[in-house]
Every structure is written in structure tokens, then in C-alpha cells.
Chain A
Amino acid sequence: MHTNLLKWPLLLSVVVALCFSTAAYAQLTTYQLQDWLNSPAASSHVGDITGNAKAAALPYRRFCVGCHGELGDGNGENAVWFLTPLYAQPRNFQLAIFKCRSTPTGTLPTDQDLYDTIGRGMDRSNMPAWIPLSKQERADLVAWIKHYSPRWQTEKAGTPIQIPPEPEITPERVKAGQDVFARMQCFKCHGVQGKANGPSASTLTDDLSQPIAPFNFTDGSRPKCGSTDVDIYRIFMTGLDGTPMPSFADNIKPDEAWDLVFYLRSLQPHNAYNEKERQIANQLGLKPVNPNPAQ
């Protein structure tokens, strides 16, 4: 009788243990983590800074764990308060799918890409720009987050796309950029005026099936992966993995890509970068593209 009663808690504890072991399937054990921390893989290279994962164990706990979680799965204590589509969910480092990359779609980002994201933060999300952290600390964190996904052990970062130097802006280029916008049918999501109100905008979801909004060029938002001309070029050529935004690298030639950057700039309200673009678009009297030319 006594032994029979004892059986149940035992069985229960086995079941509980099994549950935990599957929940943490992508995680390294404490021993594996120690091994990894002492290996050359536990580092990052950003310019002439070498990041060291070991040094980031405490900063991660202090600054990142609240949202990204103990397991790096984006399920920190605060994650439940992130309401989509206004606020994206914290990144799940176990999957190692990142929006902001200089590398082709479907590849891992470079250390520099991750470092830039930490320093830049994400507009329209709860991810702040971590400029108060030193460059060394940010590089250390880049190294640290790599232990959350087995992908960093089996894959190399992609080869960054080649971006030719920015050409001189001309009215012809702004006009040609609008043609690219029409041909690629960017308006399907972003709308003919870049107001994020295209016919497909309302049903967009990210890879976790959460609703997500296309970028609105007209309301003064900053693009999530950077505001400079090169950043915008990179965004549509590499795509934002994990979101509906695809890569256009196969369909837009490098020279045309700069034309598109100039046109997109002209859609934005006046900011630090687009004085000339707006002037030219005004002079040209550009009208929004026709979404149904064949009709």
C-alpha cells in the first residue's frame, strides 16, 4: 500500500522532468555552455573589437533577460505585454531569424549586423537603442546571444550583398525609381503613396502568425533596420526575414535599387536625408502610381 502511494509522485516527477527537457531542447546544458564559453566560437568580431561571450553573461541578465528571456526564446517576463501589431514580439534567439541583415534572405546575419541592431534599437518596438552600453559590451552581447541557437554551430553568416557607391541624385533617377516601385508592385502592401494602406496590408502576418503592419513612409516612422540611404537599399535587397517583406535581390539591379531609394525618400516627410528628393518630386509633379494599369 505504502509503495503504491509512493509510485505516483515518482511518475509525476518523471513526467515533469520530461516536459522540461523538451521545452529546453535547443538549449545547451550547463556543462556544454561552459565548454562553449571557453571555445573560440564564443566571440564576435565587429571592426577591431572582439566581443567575448563570457563577459556578457551578467549584462544579458541585467539588460536583456526581461524581454528576451532566460532561454533566449523571446519569452521574458515582459513579453506578454507586447501587443501586436503595434509592438513586435521580442526576438527569439533560438530560431536565429533576424530582420536586419546585410546578408541574403535565409542566411545568418554578420556580427556587425547584430551589433548595429543593438545600438540602433527598433523603432515602433520596445527595443531601445543601447548606446549607453559601451561598444565592447555590445560586441560581448553579440557573442553571447549566439549560444541560444544551434544554427551558429552548423552555419556560417551569409556573404554581405554588394552595394555600389551612391550615385548623384537626378530627376531621371527619381522618376525611374517610381517605375521600379510600380513594377515591383510595392504598393500591394505599402500603398500607392507609401501610406501602408495597400490592398494586402490588412492581412499581413509575421512568421509567428502575429499581425504585422507594412512600413508607412509618410508618418515620420524610422525604418526598423536603419534610416540612411544604404540602410534602405539593404532593407529591400535582403528582405526582413521573419516578416512578409521579401528580398528583391533577384529582381532589382543595383543601379535601379538606388533609383528606388531616391523615390522612397521622396515619399517621406521632410527629414535629415531627403531635402533634394522631395524637391525633385515636387518639381516633377509625380502622381501616385496606378495600381491596376491593365484594367
Chain B
Amino acid sequence: MKRQDNSKLAAVSVCLLLCLVVAGLSLSLTNWEVSAAPEGKITGTVKLDGTAPHMKGIDMSKDPWCVKQHANDPAHLELVVVGKDNGLGNVVLYISEGLSGDALNAKPTAVPVFDQKNCLYTPHVLAMDVGQEFKVETSDQTAHNIHPEPNPLTGNIPWNQSQPPGAPPVTKSWKAVEMIHVKCNIHPWMSGYFAVVKGPYAITGEDGSYTIENVPPGSYTVTAWQETYGNQTAKVTVAGGQSAKADFTFKAK
């Protein structure tokens, strides 16, 4: 009787061992597959076709502290930011179609920062992933209120928090894809965006160039969003470990 029990135990343990080996093999196989097709990237340049529209100067006389900060550096609206060779800045680039699985759902761990500096938002547009945490800070010695205005029916709920001088940062995240306008009621000229997208994203610098990293091989639609000119899309195919190119041109209005 006892012997039989022992043999049963042996059989079970052999089975278990086999299972482990199979599991281990399949794991290493999937790893091998991933390393065989490394992630690529999408790069390009966003340009403005035509003359850059005139950006009005900002009258900050409501708040003498703000005026003082811009005594030698007048502030201008940032609706269209054009740099060298007509490169268009503050354009958000993201993959709007073609992503799935981990590539779509992976949440970046970086915590981007939105600073209230000299009575303006730095950066003017902050891009982030759905569910990614971001921070709102203030460097100013004047009070702000940080007031994003999403459409509550998208799942992003508006909130409104004060940030007096020395206030601790506010850490938040958004639930849904949306270009969310942010304002300060105290300083009505302050205007910025939280660009919430799903999957890897990039934002152009003043030269209009961008690189979306960590894109698995595949065919995608890339969307470029600019706050004044709206959306443009392009189709790209990314090969493993390679860099695909997608350039965009927005017509000046």
C-alpha cells in the first residue's frame, strides 16, 4: 500500500518537472522571438507651409509680479510656434491605429512635469499616455489655479486646484484619449494643453523634429496634432530595429 503511494508521488513529481521544463522552454522561446524582432521607431519633421502667423504680445498688467518677470523678455501667445526652417513646435505625434497588446497598453513610468513659470505654462503642451502620472508644479511667486477642462463624458473629469507660491506639486493622470485644454482663471492669458494619447508618443521641438521610440514592427497610422491647425495623419510601416519616416506639413492660415 505504502509503496503504491510512493510511486504515485514519483509520477506526479515527474509530471510537474516536465511541465516546468516545457514552461521554461516556451518562455525562453517567446523571449527569443522578441529579441529577433527588436522595436523600431518613427521619426520625421513637422513643418509649416507659409508665413508664420503673428503671435500677439501678452498684457500681464493684471499681475505686477508677472509683468516684472517679463521686463526684458516680452511674452507672446504660443498658438503656433515656428522655429528654424519653418519647423513647427509643440506638435504631438502618436500612433492612432495599428497598435495592439502590450505596445498599446504599456504605461510609461516617466512622470512628465507641467510647470507654471513666469506666468506661462512650460511646456505649453504636455503629452502623456492614458493612465500615465504627471506632475503640475509652480515656480512662481504668485498664485495660480490649475484648471483643466476635459469633456466629462469622455471619462476625464475636470478639476480645479489652487497653487499659491511654494505649493507642493499636484500628481494626476487621465482616463481617456483627449486633447485637454488647461487654464488659470487668475491669469486669463495662461493657456496650455494636456495631450492624452494611447501608446508611444512624441512631441516636436522648435525645429519641428520628432522621434517616437519603442514602436514594434508593423503598419500604423501616425497622427500629428497641433492646437491651432488640428490633425493630420500618415501611414507608415516600421521594420524590426529600423527607423520609419513620416513628415508632416501644416498650411499656415
B229 within 8 A of A: no
Once the chains bind, are B188 and A247 in contact (CB under 8 Å)? no
Kindly supply a per-residue 1/0 record for chain B positions 192-212, scoring 1 wherever the CB is within 8 Å of any chain A CB and 0 otherwise: 000000000000000000000
Once the chains bind, are A250 and B188 in contact (CB under 8 Å)? no
Among B146, B163, B186, the one with the most A-chain Cβ atoms within 10 Å of its Cβ is B186
Residues in A neighbouring B1, C-beta threshold 8 A: none
Q: Which of B135-188 contact A (CB under 8 A)?
A: 141-143, 145-147, 149, 152-153, 155, 157-165, 167-168, 170, 185-188
Once the chains bind, are B161 and A200 in contact (CB under 8 Å)? no
Kindly supply a per-residue 1/0 record for chain B positions 96-109, scoring 1 wherever the CB is within 8 Å of any chain A CB and 0 otherwise: 00000000000000
Once the chains bind, are B161 and A239 in contact (CB under 8 Å)? yes
Once the chains bind, are B160 and A292 in contact (CB under 8 Å)? no
Residues in A neighbouring B143, C-beta threshold 8 A: 184-185, 188
Among A105, A149, A188, A205, the one with the most B-chain Cβ atoms within 10 Å of its Cβ is A188
Once the chains bind, are B153 and A188 in contact (CB under 8 Å)? no
Contact of B158 among A155, A207, A249 (CB under 8 A): A207
Contact of A185 among B62, B153, B157, B164 (CB under 8 A): B164
A117 within 8 A of B: no
Q: Which of A24-77 contact B (CB under 8 A)?
A: 26
Residues in B neighbouring A199, C-beta threshold 8 A: 62-63
Once the chains bind, are B147 and A244 in contact (CB under 8 Å)? yes
Q: Is the interface of B mostly helix, strand, loop or mixed?
A: loop
Complex Cα distance A107/B158, Å? 9
B64 within 8 A of A: yes
Complex Cα distance A263/B63, Å? 24
What distance in Å separates the Cβ of B175 from its nearest Cβ neighbour in chain A?
10
Complex Cα distance A250/B146, Å? 12
Once the chains bind, are A95 and B153 in contact (CB under 8 Å)? yes
Residues in B neighbouring A188, C-beta threshold 8 A: 63, 143, 186
Residues in A neighbouring B160, C-beta threshold 8 A: 105-106, 239, 241, 243-247
Complex Cα distance A151/B65, Å? 40
Complex Cα distance A200/B160, Å? 16
Residues in B neighbouring A292, C-beta threshold 8 A: 64-65
Residues in B neighbouring A243, C-beta threshold 8 A: 160
CB nearest to A203 among chain B residues? B188
Contact of B149 among A207, A247, A249 (CB under 8 A): A207
A13 within 8 A of B: no
Once the chains bind, are B161 and A189 in contact (CB under 8 Å)? no
A154 within 8 A of B: yes
Residues in B neighbouring A245, C-beta threshold 8 A: 160
Residues in A neighbouring B161, C-beta threshold 8 A: 105, 239, 246-250
Once the chains bind, are B158 and A246 in contact (CB under 8 Å)? no
Once the chains bind, are B152 and A95 in contact (CB under 8 Å)? yes
Q: Which of A181-195 contact B (CB under 8 A)?
A: 183-185, 188-189
Complex Cα distance A250/B145, Å? 12
CB nearest to B152 among chain A residues? A95
Kindly supply a per-residue 1/0 record for chain A positions 276-295, scoring 1 wherever the CB is within 8 Å of any chain B CB and 0 otherwise: 00000000000000001011
Among A97, A151, A251, the one with the most B-chain Cβ atoms within 10 Å of its Cβ is A251
Residues in B neighbouring A248, C-beta threshold 8 A: 161-162
Once the chains bind, are A295 and B187 in contact (CB under 8 Å)? no
User: Can you pick out 21 interface pairs between chain A and chain B where the beta carbons lie within 8 Å of each other?
Assistant: A26-B153, A94-B153, A95-B152, A97-B152, A97-B158, A149-B152, A184-B164, A185-B186, A188-B143, A189-B186, A200-B187, A203-B62, A239-B162, A244-B147, A244-B185, A246-B147, A246-B160, A246-B185, A247-B159, A247-B160, A294-B141
B residues bordering A, Cβ < 8 Å? 62-65, 141-143, 145-147, 149, 152-153, 155, 157-165, 167-168, 170, 185-188
